[in-house]
């Protein structure tokens, strides 16, 4: 079907140009966690430190560049434990809950003044395979925060010719 291919093309179209530095792509799986995505305590030599996750860092990058649009693509979004991964950000991913006025302390914040927000210039694109039975675990709290677009495979003559070129 080419879901991730199309997701990147949507991002390029929305940006008006191709700039992969403003796109981040990850894939969820059953072991993916909040600590990987947002923040977590990780070993660092002989001690433990709070380490920022990929989405946290991407949001900070976008906060420092408000004039540009940024796209975070999550492949196989339905394969992760979404409540566990998003945590308190479930509210902040809503389009009308973006910006500093909606900032909140994170789970690993060391004090109440250390707050986080998702900037308005971040766009989330999630892909999933509806043939996968783990789709049932995509709860309604997350479903209402995304728009769903169905993509069907298109096995036409061009596709057949392309496959035949490898024989």
Q: Locate 19 and state its tokens.
A: 């700039």
- Report residue 96 CA to chain centroid gap: 17
Q: Of 10-14, 58-62, 111-115, which range is least confident? A: 111-115
Provide the pLDDT confidence category of residue 139 given band limits of 50, 70 and 90.
Answer: low
Q: Residue 96 burial (CB < 10 Å; 0-12/13-18/19+)? A: exposed
Reported as a single tens digit per residue, the pLDDT across 2-50 is 788 889 999 999 999 999 999 999 999 889 999 999 999 999 999 999 9
Q: How many residues does the chain have?
A: 167
Of 47, 55, 51, which is closest to residue 24 (Cα–Cα)? 55
Kindly tell me if the per-residue pLDDT of 134 is higher than 60: no
pTM of the model: 0.83
The predicted structure's pLDDT at residue 90 = 85
Which residues touch 17 (CB under 8 Å, ≥6 apart)?
none
User: How many whole angstroms separate alpha carbon 167 and alpha carbon 14?
Assistant: 38
Containing 40, the helix (H) or strand (E) segment is strand 39-44
The predicted structure's pLDDT at residue 27 = 94
Containing 147, the helix (H) or strand (E) segment is none
Q: What is the mean predicted confidence (pLDDT) over 125-141? A: 67
| Triad 149, 23, 135: Cα angle to 5° | 35
Q: What is the mean predicted confidence (pLDDT) over 85-91? A: 87
Q: Of 31-45, 84-98, 111-125, 143-157, which range is least confident? A: 143-157
The predicted structure's pLDDT at residue 141 = 63
């Amino acid at each position: 079907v080419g879901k991730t291919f199309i997701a990147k093309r949507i991002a390029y179209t929305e940006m008006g140009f191709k700039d992969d530095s403003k796109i981040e792509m990850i894939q969820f799986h059953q072991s993916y966690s909040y600590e990987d995505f947002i923040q977590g305590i990780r070993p660092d030599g002989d001690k433990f430190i709070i380490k920022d996750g990929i989405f946290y860092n991407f949001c900070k990058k976008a906060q420092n560049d408000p004039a540009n649009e940024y796209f975070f693509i999550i492949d196989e979004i339905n394969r992760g434990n979404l409540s566990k991964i998003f945590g308190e950000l479930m509210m902040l991913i809503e389009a009308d809950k973006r910006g500093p006025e909606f900032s909140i302390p994170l789970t690993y914040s060391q004090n109440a003044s250390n707050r986080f927000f998702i900037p308005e210039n971040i766009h989330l694109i999630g892909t999933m395979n509806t043939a996968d039975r783990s789709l049932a675990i995509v709860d309604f709290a997350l479903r209402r925060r995304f728009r769903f677009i169905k993509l069907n495979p298109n096995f036409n003559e061009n596709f057949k010719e392309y496959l035949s070129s490898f024989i």
